[in-house]
Structure 1
Amino acid sequence: ETVARSSDATVTAMDHLFRRKRVGLLKPLLSLSLVFASFLMIHKLRLSEKDAFGVKHLRAAGWCGSECFSFKKEVGKTSLGSSESPAPRKEPDTQRVSNRTATWDAQVLNCSEDASVRTQDWFRRLDPRFHQFVLHRHCRYFPMLINHPEKCADGEVHLLMVVKSVIEQHDRREAVRKTWGREQTVDGKTIKTLFLLGSPNIGKDTKNLQKLIEYEDLIYKDILQWDFMDTFFNLTLKEVNFLKWFDIYCPGVRFIFKGDDDVFVNTHNLLELIGFKVEERKEADLFVGDTISKAIPIRNRQSKYYIPKELYDKPYPPYVGGGGFLMSSPLARRLFVVSEDLELYPIDDVFLGMCLQKLHLSPELHPGFRTFGITRRRVSSMNSEPCFYKNLIVVHKLSAQELLKMWSVVHGGDLVCAQRFSI
């Protein structure tokens, strides 16, 4: 019996020792697996670079991106898109046809601050939070980290869904892909989707975030990324860089829906609206959304949209809420032309209104676009009523979970609404 107990104790001790060794071996095995997976992903990304799916370069920290100012100049590449200090601006010729280049040409960036601005009295009085924006306002086009020139190349695209997002909002992009941003063909009309991103902000886990977004794009192939920091003031850079990209790569697109990654879009109603405009032959100047007229700059320093008098001191032109709007392809190309003759403005919605004003156009107000929610009272039960979502086109603002849930209810087949459901 004593021998048996001793044997059992020995077996137990050996089993315990074996388990400890197995756990000890598990960590290095997992680490090796992660290293191997990272190597494979990097290898695939490098292969894709050879097919012009991204520009890799050496970068140093600075205003334009998380690591952005000093680049290797590629042999044989032009730098037409590099942002040198601009020549004095002339009045734009709004009838001018855009000068389409074959590829994205902003490969090398030499974007130091405009030191002459520092000597001006108005700059000394300017709120310090706007200093970097003003000093680098001439920096307009940036190298691409992720590009998909093939997105619009396969025949005619009836509707291109373009979604502003940031790297960390992976759950929002997933929700959009499963709902209104799903690439599909409806009655012979092709719908494609793209997400617009900048670079991670300085101070975040930049390298890992970048690897994650590259891996996400490897799966979905629907991300455009530029090398400027993804900040609120840089949202206008997404507008101008996308307009240039669109002018180069999308000759066969007819309409563009542009919106945020936290909106609900009723795709069926959006296509119906496009159909009505085509029937009425009003698509050439089509720019429709939740129009804001007679607005003035907000002077409250606590507001996200605060603008000091030194930066802008007159009423805004009519513009649409950036949560979601629809425009035609011809108008997008004309907006690209006039945008190049305008100084960048830190609020992207207003900047597009300025571009429209240069074209002597006003955006069309449509009640189906609710970029401030169904009602501005956030606590109102109307904001969660599915029958409104069934009859509207765009509703802002929903979390990823709310979007998935509302999409399921609206398209589930069990929803019964009155024939006329008004707000």
Structure 2
Amino acid sequence: TAFRGACVTEKRVGLLKPLLKPLLSLSLVFASFLMIHKLKVAEKDAVGLKPVRAETWCGSDCFSFKKPFMKPGPGSDPPPAGLDGAPRVSNGTPASWDAQVLNCSEDGSVRTKDWFRRLDPRFHQFVLHRHCRYFPMIINHPEKCADGRARLLIVVKSVIEQHDRREAVRQTWGREHTAEDGTAIRTLFLLGSPTTGKDTKNLQKLIEYEDRIYGDILQWDFMDTFFNLTLKEVNFLKWFHIYCSDVRFIFKGDDDVFVNTRNLLDLIRFKVDERQDAELFVGDTISKAIPIRNRQSKYYIPKELYDKPYPPYAGGGGFLMSSPLARRLFAVSEAVQLYPIDDVFLGMCLQKLSLSPELHPGFRTFGISRRRVSPMNHEPCFYKNLIVVHKLSAQELLHMWKVVHKQDLVCAHRTSV
């Protein structure tokens, strides 16, 4: 009987196979409709609170530039496609974003180097195009700091598909508001373009619609890959230099961290009172690290690309820096060769300035405990007394934010780990 039942089941599955592909396509369309519906609900909720500023929204038709990406060959990583028309050294501040044409070919001279021939092929496209530094903007918000009131700018690295994470951040630590002490907080999400092979056109329409509602997305025309995370650093520093250099402090982090904004503001006040804010760069500092040589690791770096210890750097999950230092980082970054690990690249820029990031125990970019199964990683009293904790899903972030801000949450004493 069991055998006959299995045969009948297999026969039914065989009959259903021709229907699976259409059903999958319908499910993807349905998911898109659900996302649009959710965004429309958010748009309705925002009426009277934050009007949609259509006159300042800049979509993909704001610039005229060559759109096609440079596509990789089979089996290779997608290269960064972009532009390097601007000089490497900044001479004055342009009035607006000046990278408007995609025109960056590979540096063919590198192919003749012996070290390039020995280099792991996964890094070929990165090396051939790492002189491509600044890219056209698809979505821009030059008005974000225009009123001169913003004191803290929260900048969050994200990718197009992570709408749920952005929504969780907006409802929690990334909410734009004015704090009790008068600190005006503004928020931006940094995005590239969808990688090759994804439903690029529909994903782009969704992100443009999301931005029309919230007005908090900066998007550049380079593919959103791991190797291109450093491009978010340098393009943001340039953007900040042009549009937002009067803001006092920048918190930069990932979209999967918990940030206790009250403790973050306390840290800022302390640094200001102690006059320690001019060269402020504070986070979860990693010192005496060396490149990872394990080919299976996400952070693998071959010897041909870098063969010495890393300078001290802050974990990219979340760090705080002052505006004067951000301006200096922008200037010096133009003379630092791009590196495929973004937080290490910033450490290299700091080293050029003869500075090191300050270690602070409140920044936990590897989690409260590095053992993911540890109960400490889910203890609200730790979150109440720390500044940054990595890593949480969107649902975990919303839940922990609610628990930490409950009036009846009682912690026996100030917790430290």
Of 41, 60, 69 in structure 2, the residue corresponding to residue 61 of structure 1 is: 69
Alignment correspondent of 1:22: none
Rounded Cα–Cα distance in structure 2 between residues aligned with 1:292 and 1:66: 29
Q: 2:226 aligned with 1:232, yes or no?
A: yes
Deviation digits for residues 4-57 of structure 1 (CA, Å, limit 9, x no counterpart): xxxxxxxxxxxxxxxxxxxxxxxxxx9xxx9xx9xxx9xx99976789994354
Shift of the 178–54 alpha-carbon distance from structure 1 to 2, 3 Å rule, reads farther
The alignment covers a number of residue pairs equal to 367
CA contact (8 A) 2:106 2:129 kept: yes
Deviation digits for residues 359-395 of structure 1 (CA, Å, limit 9, x no counterpart): 0001000000000000100000000000000000000
Q: 2:152 aligned with 1:155, yes or no?
A: no
Deviation, structure 1 residue 108: 1.2
Runs of 4+ in 1 over 3 A off after TM superposition: 44-54, 63-70, 84-87
Q: 2:349 aligned with 1:355, yes or no?
A: yes
- Where 1:272 maps in the other structure, the secondary structure is helix
Shift of the 59–69 alpha-carbon distance from structure 1 to 2, 3 Å rule, reads farther
The 10-residue stretch of structure 1 (333-342 or 46-55) with the greater mean CA deviation from structure 2: 46-55
Deviation, structure 1 residue 100: 1.2
- Where 1:163 maps in the other structure, the secondary structure is strand
Alignment correspondent of 1:366: 360
- After TM superposition, list the pairs within 5 Å mapping 1:12-161 onto structure 2: 54-62=62-70, 82-84=83-85, 99-161=92-154
- After TM superposition, list the pairs within 5 Å mapping 1:164-175 onto structure 2: 164-175=157-168
Alignment correspondent of 2:413: 419
Q: What are the ranges of 5 or more consecutive residues in structure 1 without an aligned counterpart?
A: 1-29, 71-81
- Give the alignment's Cα RMSD to 1 decimal: 2.8
When normalised by structure 2's length, the TM-score is 0.83
Alignment correspondent of 1:243: 237
Deviation, structure 1 residue 422: 1.9
Shift of the 53–202 alpha-carbon distance from structure 1 to 2, 3 Å rule, reads closer
- Where 2:233 maps in the other structure, the secondary structure is helix
- After TM superposition, list the pairs within 5 Å mapping 1:176-191 onto structure 2: 176-186=169-179, 187-191=181-185
Alignment correspondent of 1:18: none
- After TM superposition, list the pairs within 5 Å mapping 1:192-211 onto structure 2: 192-211=186-205
CA contact (8 A) 2:284 2:319 kept: yes
Deviation digits for residues 209-229 of structure 1 (CA, Å, limit 9, x no counterpart): 000000000000000000000
- Where 1:233 maps in the other structure, the secondary structure is helix
Deviation, structure 1 residue 69: 6.2
Deviation digits for residues 204-247 of structure 1 (CA, Å, limit 9, x no counterpart): 00000000000000000000000000000000000000000000
CA contact (8 A) 1:98 1:334 kept: no
Alignment correspondent of 2:264: 270
Rounded Cα–Cα distance in structure 2 between residues aligned with 1:45 and 1:167: 21
Deviation, structure 1 residue 420: 2.1
Deviation digits for residues 287-316 of structure 1 (CA, Å, limit 9, x no counterpart): 000000000000000000000000000000
Rounded Cα–Cα distance in structure 2 between residues aligned with 1:153 and 1:391: 33
CA contact (8 A) 1:176 1:182 kept: yes
Identity of aligned residues (%): 76
Shift of the 67–359 alpha-carbon distance from structure 1 to 2, 3 Å rule, reads closer
CA contact (8 A) 1:319 1:353 kept: yes
Shift of the 85–414 alpha-carbon distance from structure 1 to 2, 3 Å rule, reads closer
Deviation, structure 1 residue 99: 2.2
Rounded Cα–Cα distance in structure 2 between residues aligned with 1:48 and 1:373: 38
Alignment correspondent of 2:321: 327
Q: 2:394 aligned with 1:393, yes or no?
A: no
CA contact (8 A) 2:312 2:356 kept: yes
CA contact (8 A) 2:253 2:316 kept: yes
Deviation digits for residues 110-162 of structure 1 (CA, Å, limit 9, x no counterpart): 10000010011000000000000000000000000000000011123110000
Structure 1 residue identity aligned to 2:96: T
Alignment correspondent of 2:371: 377
- Where 2:99 maps in the other structure, the secondary structure is coil
When normalised by structure 1's length, the TM-score is 0.82
Give the structure with higher Rg (CA). 1
Q: What are the ranges of 5 or more consecutive residues in structure 2 without an aligned counterpart?
A: 1-28, 41-51
CA contact (8 A) 2:362 2:388 kept: yes
